Amino acid sequence: MWVAPTHRQRGMGKILVQSLFDWAATKARQEMYLFVGAHNQAAQALYASMGFLPTGRSEPLPWDPAIIDIEMTQKLGTSLTA
C-alpha cells in the first residue's frame, strides 16, 4: 500500500486499511499480517493506531538487503476503528 505524498496526513491510509479490514471480514479472515519498512515510522504509527502489533519478525528486501521490513499483525474483529 502506498499513498502519494500530496495526499498524506489526510486520512487516506486509514481509509485504505479499513477497506482491507472490511474485505477480510467478507472472507472470514481472523488475522492480517503486513510488512512495513523499519525506517517508515509514519506508516508504523498508522498501523499501530489501527491495532497492528509488531511480531518481532523482520527481513531484508530481496532486491536491497540494506532495507529492512518488519512484520506487524492484527487480529481481526479487534480493530480500534470498529
pLDDT per residue as tens digits for the range 48-79: 999 999 999 999 999 999 999 999 999 987 54
Q: Which three cell numbers stand for residue 73?
A: 499483525
Between helix 41-49 and helix 12-26 the angle, nearest 10°, is 50
What's the structural domain count of the chain? Answer: 1
State the pLDDT confidence band at 27, using cuts at 50, 70 and 90: confident
Residue 31 sits at φ, ψ, to 5 deg, of -150, 150
State the pLDDT confidence band at 82, using cuts at 50, 70 and 90: very low
Q: Is residue 17 in a domain? A: no
Question: If DSSP codes are grouped into helix, strand and coil, which group holds residue 13?
Answer: helix
Q: Tell me, what DSSP letter sits at residue 6?
A: G
Residue 55: give the domain boundaries.
29-82
Mean pLDDT across the stretch 29-57? 95
Whether the per-residue pLDDT at 80 is higher than 70: the answer is: no
Residue 19 burial (CB count, 10 A): 11
pLDDT of residue 29: 85
Q: Is residue 2 in a domain? A: no
Q: Is residue 44 in a domain? A: yes
